[in-house]
Amino acid sequence: MSETNIPEEVLAAASDVETKESEVIETAAVQPEVEAEAESAPQTESAPQAESATEVAEEAEAEAGAKAESLVDKTLAELSEMFRSLKESADSMMRSKEAENIKSAFYKLLGKLKGENPDVATSLSNPFEAVEENFKAVYADYKKERAEFNRQQEAKREENLLTKKAIIDELKALVEKEEDASASFPAFRELQNRWREAGPVPVNAYRDINDTYQFYVEKFYDMVKISRDLRDLDFQKNLEAKEKFCEAAEKLAENENVVNAFHELQKLHEQWKEFGPVAKEKRDDIWNRFKAATAVINKRYQAHFEGQKEEQLANLTAKQALCEQVEEIAAKEINSSSEWNEQSRKIQELQEEWRKIGFATRKENQKIYDRFRAACDAFYGHKRDYYNQFKDSMNANLDKKMAIIEKAEALKNSTEWKKATDQFIELQKEWKEIGAVPRKKSEQIWKRFRAACDEFFAERDKNAKPENDFYGNLKAKKKLIEEVQAYVVSEDEAANAEALRSFNERWQAIGHVPFKEKDAVNDAYRSAIKEKFPLNPSRRAQGGRPQRGPRTEKDILMDKYRQLQQDVTTYENNIGFFAASKNSEPLIKQMQERIEQAKAELKELEQKIRQAEEGAE
């Protein structure tokens, strides 16, 4: 058929089709479909959502950041299980970023635990080794599956590229041969359908292959001799398809999930461009309808992210305030276990509050987290240093008490009763003045020291001379205690002071009592004096302020109680250092046994403290 035989209205329509089709192609250009982990949401250049590409990327990074932050408080066992669940999920190949976040969190926590427990990490029963090897095996399997998946996807894209090139070749041949429209147009439609059904192609080939295809589509409408009826039928089919796209976009505008609605809109724009033009008189209307629905979704999407940014800025301010509080605590100089426990509780409360706050702006989120983490690490580092020094001090005290034990054992067979007795009393005083020793050694060395003392004093009492009537001295001291208890306190402070001086002189003048009775009778005398003379005038400091007296039994018991509480806290923390692996079960069991033993001792101390308080009243 020659061009001169083509009706004027057909040529005009074909020319109009060329103009409008070019317009649709130009305004509906979208990005190629790429692998899920590197995908950016497709954009329509003429639609208002074009400027949202950056926002989509920001959203993806922010969500990844939030997921990464949620991994901070997981244990090694929980992270391993999370990775295994991800690997076995149906969409595991599309979640590589999440997999890498879990891997990063796992090794970061593993390194931290090894650093805090170097002795455990290098021991033969290393509890970390089994967990790490298990994670490595699962991760290696995942990487192999991921590599194979990527290889298959790339091969499929190359295959799709060949398919689309073949379609273009057929389309080109169809355009270049002159044939009746009734024969060429069905073939053209079939090629369009095959094109739409073909999958994505490699990213670097997308623009060229798509531009080439669109060029021959335009050429077809320009060159093929199509009848008005057939063209109108095609226009009608395109109109029906685009009306459905409009309905879908309008429905998306009502979707409460703004982000999902925006992503679905990109897919509609991509599908829109796959269809040809509609009748001239309906083109503006159908496009304006689709564009209006697009504008609604884009405005909601933009408002969503503006609101989200405001919320993130508020979260940033709240997190900055928490950082300042932790930094202030970390900078404090703390010199007692009770204060360390109190400040640790505050740090834990601040960490719990941190977890309740959403993530900050994408630019600042990692920075503010690193600042908070650094402040917490500084606090716990200072705490660890303090207890390391405390441990060194206890070891030094152990050496001092061992030296006293050696002196006592060397002295226990002495028959110089008076001289040796004074020496033993001096050793006992030195023993009491020395601070705490490691708990596992405390009972053992005390029994050893007490045994040496008991052996000497038992032998001394057997060989006591008449002038060393220990039981007579005991009887005399008990009688003096009764006198103190019967003393009627005078309103004359000087008289009371004189009475107290007399009682003390008489007490000191009485000789030694049996060793086993010494502590009890001394405690009874102190209690009686304290009851009758609560404020000793001879111990007043300058300015009328009383000086601090010697440590009471209650003070000693309270120190032991606080030390045991600290031990329980340490053991409970140690349990958290070990993952639930086979190698760590003996260590965990040992810690639990120590906790139960310490708690039983705490109950006994509570009873003794109450008795001491009742005795002091």
Model confidence over 522-553: pLDDT tens digits?
889 888 888 888 754 444 333 333 444 445 67
Cα–Cα distance measured from residue 54 to residue 60, given in angstroms and rounded to the nearest whole number: 10
CB 334 within 8 A of CB 390: no
Q: Is the pLDDT assigned to residue 558 strictly greater than 60?
A: yes
Q: What is the largest CA-CA distance in the chain?
A: 153
Task: Tokens for 114, please give them.
Answer: 């090894």
Model confidence over 110-155: pLDDT tens digits?
888 887 777 666 666 677 788 888 888 889 988 998 899 889 989 9
Average pLDDT of the chain to the nearest whole number: 76
CA nearest neighbour of 21 among 217, 282, 300: 217
What mean pLDDT do residues 482-493 have?
Answer: 85
CB 257 within 8 A of CB 297: no
The segment with the largest mean pLDDT, out of 91-95, 117-121, 164-168, 353-357, is: 164-168
Of 56-65, 107-116, 279-288, 535-544, give the lowest mean pLDDT range.
Answer: 535-544
Distances (CA, A) of 574 to 330, 347, 591: 22, 18, 7
pLDDT band at 374; cut points 50, 70, 90: very high
Of 169-183, 233-247, 290-304, 320-334, give the lowest mean pLDDT range.
Answer: 169-183
DSSP for residue 466: T
Would you tell me how many other CB atoms lie within 10 Å of the CB of residue 561? Answer: 17
**Fold (CATH) for 553-616:** Helix Hairpins (1.10.287)
Q: Is the pLDDT assigned to residue 167 strictly greater than 90?
A: yes
| H helix and E strand count, the chain | 20, 0
pLDDT band at 161; cut points 50, 70, 90: very high
The C-alpha torsion from 441 through 442 and 447 to 449, rounded to 10°, is: 100
* Predicted local confidence at residue 590, as pLDDT: 72
Q: Is the pLDDT assigned to residue 405 strictly greater than 70?
A: yes
Structural domain boundaries of the chain? Answer: 1-59+228-300, 71-226, 309-384, 391-544, 553-616
Model confidence over 467-483: pLDDT tens digits?
557 778 888 889 889 98
* Predicted local confidence at residue 162, as pLDDT: 94
Cα–Cα distance measured from residue 200 to residue 183, given in angstroms and rounded to the nearest whole number: 30
CA nearest neighbour of 378 among 451, 437, 312, 329: 329
Distances (CA, A) of 56 to 53, 218, 429: 5, 33, 75
| Strand partners of residue 180 | 225
Q: Is the pLDDT assigned to residue 462 strictly greater than 70?
A: yes
Q: Is the pLDDT assigned to residue 13 strictly greater than 70?
A: no
Find the helix or strand (DSSP H, E) in which 204 lies.
Answer: helix 203-223
Residue with tokens 């001092």: 400
Q: How far is CA 293 from the centre of its chain?
A: 43
Model confidence over 317-347: pLDDT tens digits?
898 898 999 899 989 888 777 788 888 998 9
Residue with tokens 């508020």: 314
In percent, the amount of the chain with pLDDT more than 70 equals: 77
pLDDT band at 615; cut points 50, 70, 90: low
CA nearest neighbour of 525 among 487, 576, 573: 487
Q: Which residue has the higher pLDDT, 323 or 40?
A: 323
106: exposed, middle or buried (Cβ count in 10 Å: 0-12, 13-18, 19+): buried
What mean pLDDT do residues 237-263 have?
Answer: 87
Cα–Cα distance measured from residue 192 to residue 197, given in angstroms and rounded to the nearest whole number: 9
CA nearest neighbour of 479 among 507, 452, 498: 507
The segment with the largest mean pLDDT, out of 38-52, 291-305, 506-520, is: 291-305
Residue with tokens 């639930």: 580
CA nearest neighbour of 580 among 79, 103, 142, 68: 79
Of 171-180, 342-351, 451-460, give the lowest mean pLDDT range.
Answer: 171-180
* Predicted local confidence at residue 406, as pLDDT: 92
Taking the CA atoms of 145, 148, 154 and 158 in sequence, report the sign of the dihedral they define: negative
